[in-house]
Amino acid sequence: MNPSPLERQFSSPRDLLKKARRDLGRLRSAEEGRDAIASFDAMIDACASVYHVKDWIVSLHSDRKSAAEKCAHESKWILLCRDVCTAAKHFGLRLEHPTFQRSPPAFQEMDHSAVAGAFGGLPLLKVRTEDDDYYYGPEVVSNAIADWERFLTSAKIP
Dihedral-angle region of residue 120 (phi above 0 means left; psi in -120 to 50 means alpha; beta otherwise): left
Q: What is the mean pLDDT of the chain?
A: 80
Amino acid 53: pLDDT:
97
Q: How far is CA 150 from each of CA 6, 143, 155, 157, rounded to the nearest angstrom?
A: 26, 11, 8, 10
Q: How far apart are CA 24 and CA 46, in angstroms?
A: 6
| CB contact set of 13 (below 8 Å; sequence gap of 6+) | 53, 56, 57, 60, 61, 148, 152, 157
CB 31 within 8 A of CB 41: no
User: Per-residue pLDDT averaged across 43-49, rounded?
Assistant: 94
Q: How far is CA 2 from each of CA 8, 16, 59, 70, rounded to the nearest angstrom?
A: 9, 21, 21, 35
DSSP state of 4: P
User: Per-residue pLDDT averaged across 116-124, rounded?
Assistant: 52
Q: What is the pLDDT of residues 17-32, one digit of tens each?
A: 999 999 999 999 998 8
> Which of 72-76, 98-102, 138-142, 154-158 comes out lowest in average pLDDT?
98-102
Amino acid 96: pLDDT:
46
pLDDT over 90 (residue 57): yes
Residue-wise burial string across 78-105, b where 16 or more C-beta atoms lie within 10 A, e elsewhere: bbbbbbbbbbbeeeebeeeeebeeebeb
